[in-house]
Amino acid sequence: MNRNITTILFDLDGTLIDTNDLIIQSFLHTLEKYYPSKYKREDVLPFIGPTLRETFGSMDEAKVDEMIQTYRTFNLSNHDNLVKEYEGVFETIQILKEQGFKIGIVTSKVSDVVLKGLQLTKLDQFFDVVVALDHVEKAKPDPGPIFMALEQLGSTPEEALMVGDNHHDVLAGKNAGVKTAGVAWTVKGREYLQGYGPDFMLDNMRDLLPIVGVEGR
């Protein structure tokens, strides 16, 4: 229990909303166009977390913008059919908001797609601030996005917690000097995320409530 935490920052994809199938299918669609029959599902799992520019840029710097556009076109057109929230998320976020916590999103996704996901899952009503990829110069694990969110919320690192499904989230939190929580439902596996030493591991988003000193319903 930690009532010293007043501010909770969340990653979006793979943390609040289940976009794994959408992301994987978007990568496979894009890579099939540029590298036919080369990539399978397990090959693209490491691409979940880094920015699209980092991933595609490492393959072909000359075609990176074209590949990002192909990815985003497919991603947006299939978004609402493939995205859903994780169990316990809506209830937990609602309780945190009612209890007066300052809550924000820090994501490596661009803001228009972030809003689409939040509106689809009706989570958009709860968040005080969203820091997306197009708001920052450097993405996680750089601490800049977390510092930007804390500044907008009027919070300090000492009173904040970062929740995410990827090592980028844990490292960004550590780099910013905030507490960190990993989610065991990460597509990369619980042990993978635990290896980066988050302060807490959540088996369900409801596990967050006693950590920050709130009783669940």
Give the pair of three-digit tokens for residue 157: 């690192």
Write the pLDDT tens digit of every residue in 89-99: 999 999 999 99
**Under CATH, which architecture does the 20-82 domain have?**
Orthogonal Bundle (1.10)
Predicted confidence band at 17 (pLDDT cuts at 50, 70, 90)? very high
Angle separating helix axes 64-82 and 111-120, nearest 10 degrees: 10
Rounded to an integer, the average pLDDT of 85-106 is 96
Q: Which residues carry out catalysis?
A: 11
Q: What is the pLDDT of residue 188?
A: 87
The pTM score is: 0.91
Q: What is the pLDDT of residue 57?
A: 95
Predicted confidence band at 2 (pLDDT cuts at 50, 70, 90)? low
Rounded to an integer, the average pLDDT of 147-166 is 98
Q: What is the pLDDT of residue 217?
A: 59
**What number of other Cβ atoms are within 10 A of residue 92's Cβ?**
22
- Output the average pLDDT for the chain: 95
Choosing among 3.30.360.10, 3.40.50.1220, 3.30.930.10, 3.40.50.1000, the CATH entry for 7-18+84-211 is 3.40.50.1000
Q: Is the pLDDT of residue 216 over 90?
A: no
User: What CA–CA distance (Å, rounded) separates 95 from 210?
Assistant: 12
Q: Where are the chain's structural domains? A: 7-18+84-211, 20-82
Three-state secondary-structure class, residue 130: strand
In this structure, are residues 131 and 105 in contact, taking their beta carbons and an 8 Å threshold? yes
Rounded to an integer, the average pLDDT of 47-58 is 93
Q: What is the pLDDT of residue 1?
A: 46
Rounded to an integer, the average pLDDT of 21-46 is 96
Q: DSSP character for 133? A: G
